[in-house]
Amino acid sequence: MSKRTKIILALCSLAGVVTLGSYALYSWLAAGPGEFDHQRFEAIVAEVRRRPLPTCATCEVTFRLDDLSNPRSLRPWVAEEIAHRGEGTGRVWASRTEDGKVKVVIETRDYGHAGEYGFAFSDVPLKKEPFMGSSDWYRVDVPGNLYLVREQIDEHWWSVLYNLD
């Protein structure tokens, strides 16, 4: 095989690796929060409701789901735990109003600098508001870090993210 043929084969191989790598990265980043599993996320909200939450407009509690597929794995966030970049999947933030209404945010994906994604639940209707005067970005009033709107799923559920890091 000639030197030129070897170079062409090497370049083609490199192009293939770059193409597949780019597609994998795109798929990974485009995935957002993952599939919305209404039944599983409602079970997580039900588990949060069973927990003692302070009743005030500005109080929030942080939990951790050790297994995102198991609502019973919900536990209080331990103060010594540090959520390193890319390791936030499973965090849950919750708040309860004076009249017992809850807001819950479930982090389902943490891509580090590429963003954190999840779903927000609210017993009370949420109103999306422009974020920092933008006409393209909106936020909702929910506990935790994921307050930027991707889309409203139904009356109670929103797809949310935080990608400003």
Cα 90 off chain centre by: 9
* CA atoms 73, 153, 116, 17: torsion sign: positive
pLDDT tens digits in sequence order for the chain, 165 residues long: 776 655 555 554 555 544 444 433 443 444 456 788 999 999 999 999 999 899 887 889 999 999 999 999 999 998 777 777 777 899 999 999 888 999 999 999 999 888 999 999 999 999 999 888 777 889 999 999 999 998 999 999 999 999 887
- The answer to whether 158 and 152 are in contact (CB under 8 A) is yes
**Whole-number pLDDT of residue 37:** 93
**Whole-number pLDDT of residue 22:** 40
